[in-house]
Amino acid sequence: MPDGLAIDVHGMTKRFDGLTAVNRVDLQVRTGDICGFLGPNGSGKTTFIRMLCGLLRPDGGSGTCLGHDVMTGSEAIKGLVGYMTQRFSFWDDLTIHENLDFVARMYSIGNRRRVVRESIERLGLEGQGNKLAGELSGGWKQRLALAACMIHDPKLLLLDEPTAGVDPKARREFWEEIHRLAEQGLTFLIATHYMDEAERCHRLAFILNGKLLSQGTVAEVIEQAHLTTWSVSGPDLTGLAGKLRVRPGVEQAVAFGNTLHISGDDADALLGAIAPFRAAPYEWRGIDSSLEDVFIHFMGGRAGRQMEGPRMDGPSS
Amino acid sequence: MKFSPSRLWAIVVKEFVQMRRDRLTLGMMAGIPVLQLLLFGYAINANPKHLPTAVLMADNGPQGRTLLYALENSSYFDFVRRVKTEPEGRRLLARGDVQFVVNIPENFTRDFLRGDRPAILVEADATDPVATVNALAALNAAVNGALKNDLKGPLAFLSGTAPPVELQIHALYNPEDITAYNIVPGLMGTILTMTMIAITGLAITRERESGTMENLLSMPTRPLEVMIGKIVPYILVGYMQMALILLTARLLFRVPMAGSIALLMAVTFVFIVANLAMGITFSTLATTQRQAMQMSMFFFLPNILLSGFMFPFRGMPVWAQDIGEFLPLTHFLRIIRGILLKGNGFTDVVRELWQIALFAIVAIALSVKSFRRTLD
Ligand SMILES: Nc1ncnc2c1ncn2[C@@H]1O[C@H](COP(=O)(O)OP(=O)(O)O)[C@@H](O)[C@H]1O
Ligand SMILES: [Mg+2]
């Protein structure tokens, strides 16, 4: 990867009889980055990831994954990529040890026994290797899956909603591990729904209805949304929210604790909309839009309007 | 990416462990053959006696009575009814009240004494030929034996070449006749076909339905490794079944084993592989386990009907024989009957064996070709 890009693809497209699940998506991820892949259910995240690791044949597109052509090099890519499926996909009727051992054999790993033993130790499951995978709880299944897809020492990890249904403590530990691995030079593309997780990523890519709407750092993505947000406090905020939502220029009126956040992408229209209420007992304050505001903004009605993000060719800011 | 024996071995080990852990299926694999053999075998091997018989006696002479007495003595026939007319006898047969109607015609004694070779008509309900075949064999002997005693003195001239009476047997409803020795070896092949196809029929679809296929496909592997890896553990199961069946056949049914058991075991390898390969082909073509099961059933039908298991192969119309020739079971039945009953050797079975081998190779090639390496 001479240009330091682990993923560099253009125009990736996948159609399922009539439905365009992924529509000309360009994505660049630098080596060592953690890229968050955001988008509501059915937006095409899984489909895109499957195309990257050769599980689906793209209908269009070009580019490289770890330096290998995505259209023709999927055998080579498979050997270098670790893919964690959205649904647990290891064998329930094999034990932890047998699952890991199988994966290690499939990748023809030298000193397999030691690698598997160390993997179980790192999992913190010494002495429990004989437990059937099907008997593990959700959190442990997810850790087993991560351990298994890393056993062949991959350069790129494609994780499809890895923390869905995992408790907050396990999620935090999981992310600490991800950051540790990224520091060692691993690259991550992680599909997720969670805002707090998105904020832990180096970069984000937001996809909706198969189209990439925005990509960049958290700040860049927020910036690209051109969203203006006001915070208001005072009595009967629920009533106020109802009144504001129907006014032109107001996209969202969402309660945050004792305040209400009002957003819209036309700053002047928004100003006009709130003008009648800018008096006591309400207190108004202009604030930075949060990632969640942006996320909802993208999802609400803006579908399909492509936002050209800055290309990340080579190292930038 | 080249074919890798170590990856093949990885799949073999995985499948073997999964197979071992699936106690229910494994138990069925052992239970089905024994159960089937017991059920089929005993129904067949039974030599039913004291079968209900009706008599239509139109003759009053002593020879007619001698005859009936001899039949009853053979212990195959119990005379439960006397009928006056032929239609009356037919009705009893149709209703299943009697198995046979013995019809001794008018003037039987007179014609017998004149040397006119009178006819005795025996009508048999042969819906289940197994039930009647022994009785009918006994009938012939009883009739000739009984009347021989009367052929002394002035009647001695009748004991020449031709039998003194003409025995006419009408096997009604089902003129076929199947013997136990024929069917038990046939069952071995049929059971193997059924279980081997059913078990690998699920091999690929199960991975697809449980979502593990996505995982397997994301690893570097070749279809041939997956196919062979999934077949190998079940070869063992096939042999386990074979051993159970042979043991049962020998110990319980005393099926003769004229030829070499080692040869039979060696030949069976090709047959087992052919069926496993067929099953795995279904598994790659189907999208769900249910579909795979339906395909297996669909394949199983001609195997039962056209292989020579149910009906004698030579009795089938040519088109049915042509289909039958494609099936591994057809050839295996000839092989196993040949080895067990006729004591055939290797040179005799090769003629059939290569056709099974060809089937196996084509099936494996087909499964590799139709194995989808992606999820779309
Ligand atoms: N194998 C498939 N066949 C047909 N449609 C599919 C298939 N896989 C996904 N889709 C459709 O493609 C769209 C994108 O799905 P997916 O990539 O799973 O989204 P996400 O992972 O973002 O939730 C959805 O509308 C889904 O129904
Ligand atoms: Mg998904």
Same domain, yes or no: A266 and A169: no
- Chain A residues with beta carbon closer than 8 angstroms to that of B25: none
Tell me how close the Cα of B21 comes to any Cα of chain A, in angstroms: 7
Q: Give the pLDDT band (50/70/90) at residue B129.
A: low
Q: Tokens 């006729």 map to which residue?
A: B342
Domain presence at residue A295: no
**Torsion angles phi and psi, residue A141, rounded to 5:** -60, -45
Specify the higher pLDDT residue, A89 or B66.
Answer: A89
Please say if the pLDDT value at position B358 is more than 90.
Answer: yes
Mean pLDDT, to the nearest integer, of A63-87?
95
Whether residues B212 and A91 touch (CB distance < 8 A) is answered with yes
Q: Are B334 and B350 in contact (CB under 8 A)?
A: no
Q: Which residues pair with A216 in a beta bridge?
A: A204
Q: How many residues does chain A have?
A: 317
Residue of A nearest to B208 (CA): A89
pLDDT above 70 covers a percentage of chain B that reads 85
Q: Are A9 and A64 in contact (CB under 8 A)?
A: yes
3-class SS letters over chain B: CCCCHHHHHHHHHHHHHHHHHCHHHHHHHHHHHHHHHHHHHHHHHCCCCCEEEEEEECCCCHHHHHHHHHHHHCCCEEEEEECCCHHHHHHHHHHCCCCEEEEECCCHHHHHHHCCCCEEEEEEECCCHHHHHHHHHHHHHHHHHHHHCCCCHHHHHHHCCCCCCEEEEEEECCCCCCCHHHHHHHHHHHHHHHHHHHHHHCHHHHHHHHCHHHHHHCCCCCHHHHHHHHHHHHHHHHHHHHHHHHHHHHHHHCCCCCCCHHHHHHHHHHHHHHHHHHHHHHHHHCCCHHHHHHHHHHHHHHHHHHCCCCCCHHHCCHHHHHHHHHCHHHHHHHHHHHHHHHCCCHHHHHHHHHHHHHHHHHHHHHHHHHCCCCCC
How many domains, chain A? 2
Q: Give the pLDDT band (50/70/90) at residue B362.
A: very high
What atom in ligand 1 is closest to the CA of residue A14? 12
Residue of A nearest to B213 (CA): A89
Domains and CATH numbers, chain B: 51-172 (3.40.1710.10), 178-370 (no CATH)
Query: Distance between CA atoms of B95 and A114, rounded to whole angstroms?
Result: 76
Domain presence at residue A309: no
pLDDT above 70 covers a percentage of chain A that reads 94
In the reported structure, the alpha carbon of residue A15 is separated from the centroid of ligand 1 by a whole-number distance in angstroms of 10
- CATH at residue A284: 3.30.70.260
A45 in ligand 1 pocket by Cβ < 6 Å? Answer: yes
A249 in ligand 1 pocket by Cβ < 6 Å? Answer: no
User: How confident is the model at residue A66, as a pLDDT?
Assistant: 95
Domain region containing A238: 228-288
Q: Give, for A98, the enclosing helix (H) or strand (E).
A: helix A96-106
Q: Are B185 and B249 in contact (CB under 8 A)?
A: yes
User: How confident is the model at residue B173, as a pLDDT?
Assistant: 46
Q: Which residues pair with A25 in a beta bridge?
A: A12
- CATH at residue A80: 3.40.50.300
Query: Distance between CA atoms of B85 and B89, rounded to whole angstroms?
Result: 7
Burial degree of B34 (CB within 10 A; 0-12, 13-18, 19+): middle
Domain presence at residue A237: yes
Q: How many residues does chain B have?
A: 376
Residue of A16, A37, A298 to mutate, ligand 1, most atoms within 8 A of C-beta? A16
Same domain, yes or no: A257 and A170: no
A203-208/A211-216 β-pairing: antiparallel
User: How confident is the model at residue A308, as a pLDDT?
Assistant: 34
Candidates A78, A91, A93; nearest CB to B218: A78
Interface test with B, best of A15, A55, A103 (most B CBs within 10 A): A55
**Among candidate residues A168, A196, A218, the one where a domain is terminated:** A218
Same domain, yes or no: A178 and A249: no
Same domain, yes or no: A174 and A45: yes
Query: Distance between CA atoms of B104 and A123, rounded to whole angstroms?
Result: 90
**Among candidate residues A184, A218, A252, the one where a domain is terminated:** A218
User: How confident is the model at residue B156, as a pLDDT?
Assistant: 59
Q: Tokens 């002593």 map to which residue?
A: B62
pLDDT above 90 covers a percentage of chain B that reads 37
- Chain B residues with beta carbon closer than 8 angstroms to that of A102: 10, 13-14
User: How confident is the model at residue B18, as a pLDDT?
Assistant: 93
User: How confident is the model at residue B215, as a pLDDT?
Assistant: 96
Mean pLDDT, to the nearest integer, of B80-89?
87
Mean pLDDT, to the nearest integer, of B47-64?
80
Whether residues A108 and B4 touch (CB distance < 8 A) is answered with yes
Candidates B6, B13, B212; nearest CB to A108: B6
A207 in ligand 1 pocket by Cβ < 6 Å? Answer: no
pLDDT in tens, B192-250: 999 999 989 988 999 999 999 999 999 999 999 999 999 999 999 999 999 998 888 88
pLDDT in tens, A275-302: 988 888 899 999 998 888 888 888 874 4
Q: Are A41 and A208 in contact (CB under 8 A)?
A: no
DSSP A294: H
Contacts of B241 (CB under 8 A, 6+ apart): B29, B30, B33, B191, B192, B195
In the reported structure, the alpha carbon of residue A55 is separated from the centroid of ligand 2 by a whole-number distance in angstroms of 14
Candidates A16, A92, A102; nearest CB to B10: A102
Whether residues B14 and A90 touch (CB distance < 8 A) is answered with no
Query: Distance between CA atoms of B41 and B33, rounded to whole angstroms?
Result: 11
In the reported structure, the alpha carbon of residue A88 is separated from the centroid of ligand 1 by a whole-number distance in angstroms of 17
Q: Which token pair is B304?
A: 């039962």
Q: Which token pair is B212?
A: 């593990």
A57 in ligand 1 pocket by Cβ < 6 Å? Answer: no
Checking A104-111 for CB contacts under 8 A at 24+ apart, the result is A104/A151, A104/A152, A105/B6, A105/B7, A105/B9, A105/B10, A105/B13, A106/B7, A106/B10, A106/B219, A106/B220, A106/B221, A107/A79, A107/A151, A107/A152, A107/B219, A107/B220, A108/B4, A108/B6, A108/B7, A109/A151, A109/A152
Mean pLDDT of chain A: 89
Same domain, yes or no: A138 and A278: no
Residue of A46, A159, A213, A295 to mutate, ligand 1, most atoms within 8 A of C-beta? A46
Ligand nearest to the CA of A57: 1
Note whether A113 contacts B: Cβ–Cβ < 8 A: no
Query: Distance between CA atoms of B191 and B175, rounded to whole angstroms?
Result: 26
User: How confident is the model at residue B186, as a pLDDT?
Assistant: 84
Query: Distance between CA atoms of A76 and A275, rounded to whole angstroms?
Result: 60
Mean pLDDT of chain B: 83
Q: Give the pLDDT band (50/70/90) at residue A106.
A: very high
pLDDT in tens, B272-287: 999 999 999 999 999 8
User: How confident is the model at residue A67, as a pLDDT?
Assistant: 94
Same domain, yes or no: A198 and A109: yes
User: How confident is the model at residue A76, as a pLDDT?
Assistant: 94
Query: Distance between CA atoms of B78 and B99, rounded to whole angstroms?
Result: 10
Contacts of B375 (CB under 8 A, 6+ apart): A50, A55, A56, B213, B214, B217
Domain presence at residue A9: yes
Q: Are A262 and A232 in contact (CB under 8 A)?
A: yes
What atom in ligand 1 is closest to the CA of residue A44? 17
- Cα dihedral A129→A134→A138→A141 (10° resolution): 40
A54 in ligand 1 pocket by Cβ < 6 Å? Answer: no
Same domain, yes or no: A205 and A248: no
Query: Distance between CA atoms of B370 and B218, rounded to whole angstroms?
Result: 18
The three-point CA angle B185-B127-B308 to 5° equals: 30
Note whether B2 contacts A: Cβ–Cβ < 8 A: no
Domain presence at residue A223: no
Please say if the pLDDT value at position B254 is more than 70.
Answer: yes
pLDDT in tens, B3-40: 999 999 999 999 999 989 988 888 888 888 788 777 77
Residue of B nearest to A51 (CA): B374
A256 in ligand 1 pocket by Cβ < 6 Å? Answer: no
Residues of chain B numbered 12-51 and touching chain A (CB < 8 Å): 13-14, 17-18, 21-22
What atom in ligand 1 is closest to the CA of residue A22? 14
Query: Distance between CA atoms of B325 and B311, rounded to whole angstroms?
Result: 14
Helix, strand, coil percentages, rounded to 5, for chain A = 35, 30, 40
Q: Give the pLDDT band (50/70/90) at residue A314.
A: very low
A209 in ligand 1 pocket by Cβ < 6 Å? Answer: no
DSSP A263: E
Residue of A nearest to B14 (CA): A102
User: How confident is the model at residue B216, as a pLDDT?
Assistant: 96
User: How confident is the model at residue A309, as a pLDDT?
Assistant: 35
- ipTM of the predicted structure? 0.86
Burial degree of A108 (CB within 10 A; 0-12, 13-18, 19+): middle
Query: Distance between CA atoms of B197 and A217, rounded to whole angstroms?
Result: 55
**Among candidate residues A218, A245, A267, the one where a domain is terminated:** A218
The sign of the dihedral angle between the CA atoms of B308, B313, B315, B319 is: positive
Same domain, yes or no: A243 and A272: yes
Measuring CA to CA, which residue among B192, B157, B173 is closest to residue B270? B192
In the reported structure, the alpha carbon of residue A76 is separated from the centroid of ligand 2 by a whole-number distance in angstroms of 24
Same domain, yes or no: A79 and A209: yes
**Torsion angles phi and psi, residue B207, rounded to 5:** -65, -35
The pTM for the full model equals 0.79
Q: Is A94 helix (H, G, I), strand (E, B) or coil?
A: coil
Number of Cα atoms under 13 Å in the Cβ half of residue A313? 2
pLDDT in tens, A117-150: 999 998 888 888 999 999 998 888 988 999 999 9
User: How confident is the model at residue B45, as a pLDDT?
Assistant: 47
Domain presence at residue A293: no
Specify the higher pLDDT residue, A16 or A165.
Answer: A16
Please say if the pLDDT value at position B160 is more than 70.
Answer: no
Whether residues B374 and A83 touch (CB distance < 8 A) is answered with no
Residues of chain B numbered 204-233 and touching chain A (CB < 8 Å): 210-212, 214-215, 217-221
Domain presence at residue A129: yes
Mean pLDDT, to the nearest integer, of B35-61?
74
State which of A42-51, B75-84, B153-162, B295-304 shows the largest mean pLDDT. Answer: A42-51
Same domain, yes or no: A96 and A164: yes
Q: Which residues pair with B124 in a beta bridge?
A: B100, B171
User: How confident is the model at residue B373, as a pLDDT?
Assistant: 87
Q: Which token pair is A102?
A: 């199988």
Instruction: Compute how many other C-beta atoms are within 10 angstroms of the C-beta atom of residue B29.
Output: 21
Please say if the pLDDT value at position B265 is more than 70.
Answer: yes
Q: Whose CA is nearest to atom 4 of ligand 1?
A: A16
Same domain, yes or no: A105 and A239: no
Q: Give, for A65, the enclosing helix (H) or strand (E).
A: strand A60-65
Same domain, yes or no: A111 and A76: yes
Specify the higher pLDDT residue, A170 or A79.
Answer: A79
Q: Give, for A29, the enclosing helix (H) or strand (E).
A: strand A19-30
- Chain B residues with beta carbon closer than 8 angstroms to that of A90: 212, 215
Domain presence at residue A100: yes
pLDDT in tens, A193-237: 888 899 999 999 999 999 999 999 999 999 988 899 999 998 888
In the reported structure, the alpha carbon of residue A86 is separated from the centroid of ligand 2 by a whole-number distance in angstroms of 6
